[in-house]
Amino acid sequence: IMMSTWFKPLSSDDSRNLLLITSMYLSPVLLLIHTINYRVMKLDLKIYLLIALMFLCAYSHTESWRPSTFLYSCMFLFTFLLCYRIVNTGNIKIQTFLHINKLLIYAYAVFVVIQQACLIAGVEPINFTQSEIVFEDTAFRINALSPEPSHIARFMLIFMVSYLSLRSIEMGRQYYFTKDYKSDILVWISYLWSMLTIGSATAILYVGMAMIPLISKKNIKYLVFIILAAIVMIMVLDTRSLDRAINIIPAALSLDIDTLFMIDASAAWRIAPLILFFRHLAPLSINFFIGNGIDYQRGLCERYLIGYNEAAPTGGYITMIMDYGFLSFLMLMIIIYDSCYHKSNRYIFLVFMLVVL
């Protein structure tokens, strides 16, 4: 709940989630208590090895070394390890996690509807952030319980894929859309409404991904109908998001940063840092393996992207190679693979990797 919700009154001026940060500050203490009460796991050792690697790589560039930034990164690792230990020592049951997952889907959908109703009525919505962003035609961009619409797309996709996977485990069989959708009709409505009406091109690209594992010969006609209905709904309610989703793909493939910003500035801030990353990657240098120091990737963005500021993204997990080096990044990927991948559910792992990378 802490990881996937954001409340405006409990955030800093640069949109940092103070509620989440406070809970993460407590994670090392809670982790120590949990480790004392339960055995040490293999993942513990891998996490601490990653922290040691990150320290050695970052500290090798003393000119950019900042203990606060390094420790802030470590808090995320401690929090992940704590969550992993809680799940894998049986402290939380599947039914409990399934219930929390469903409540988060409902909570996001309720906030989406409330914000939409407020905008229609001409009232400033609660927890609203989009009025502060200088874009043209953003009147119906909804952020719900996240800092911005594109975050809703990522969270809701993970919620839905996780929910369907947990439902399969709970039932002891595969989730069949034609048989099981009636018992989850409110979940499906909440998911589709939140993804299709928030004014996010990311949501348009992601919305159908939750349904891919459900496709079979028996239900293909129903899923095709849902997809067509969704397309019609988008065309009627939000042609701008559909246009953005269609236009940004060829712009991204062109690898031309100026074209990206001309087509869609919001998407460009996410894609352009990745283009810079690959342009400046030097696989034969020692810094490729040990990194260039803290905030090197951010420095590239400040140098080459006009109007860049500290709140803007730097390209996602893969750009960790620039700051902490390929060895640290490889260790992180090994940790994610070992702790999140399962051969019985490869799809949820692929979705997770797509969202975080």
Q: What is the pLDDT of residues 22-55, one digit of tens each?
A: 999 999 999 999 988 888 888 999 999 999 999 9
Q: Is the pLDDT of residue 72 over 70?
A: yes
Kindly indicate the confidence band of residue 334, based on its pLDDT and cuts at 50, 70 and 90: very high
Mean per-residue pLDDT over the chain, rounded? 86
What's residue 216's pLDDT? 73
User: What pTM did the predictor assign?
Assistant: 0.82
For the chain, what percent of residues have pLDDT higher than 90? 45
How many Cα atoms sit within 13 Å of 39 on the Cβ side? 5
What's the token pair of residue 270?
């996410």
How would residue 342 be classed by pLDDT, with cut points 50, 70 and 90?
confident
pLDDT score, position 240: 65
Inform me whether the pLDDT recorded for 326 exceeds 90: yes
Cβ-contact 248, 263 below 8 angstroms = yes
| Higher-pLDDT residue of 66, 354 | 66
Q: pLDDT grade, residue 134 (50/70/90)?
A: very low
Helical residues (DSSP H) of 220-345, grouped into ranges: 220-237, 239-254, 257-263, 265-280, 286-290, 296-304, 320-340
For residues 95 and 99, give the distance between their C-alpha atoms in angstroms, rounded to a whole number.
6
Task: Say which range, 57-66, 70-79, 150-159, 243-252, has the weakest mean pLDDT.
Answer: 243-252
pLDDT over 50 at 136, yes or no: no
Q: How far apart are CA 60 and CA 54, in angstroms?
A: 10
Query: Taking each helix axis from N to C terminus, what angle separates 220-237 and 185-196, rounded to the nearest 10 degrees?
Result: 40
pLDDT the model gives residue 354: 78
Confidence of residue 78 (pLDDT cuts 50, 70, 90): very high
For residue 298, pLDDT over 70 is answered with yes
Long-range Cβ pairs for the range 224-232 (8 Å, 24+) = 226/192, 230/192, 230/196
Residue 135 — very low, low, confident or very high, per pLDDT cuts 50/70/90?
very low
Q: Does 139 have pLDDT greater than 60?
A: no
231 or 299: which leads in pLDDT: 299
The β-bridge partners of 175 are none
Give the DSSP letter of residue 51. H
- The CA–CA distances, whole Å, from 63 to 136, 292, 293, 295 equal 41, 10, 8, 11
At 231 the pLDDT is 67
Q: What is the mean pLDDT of residues 126-140?
A: 64
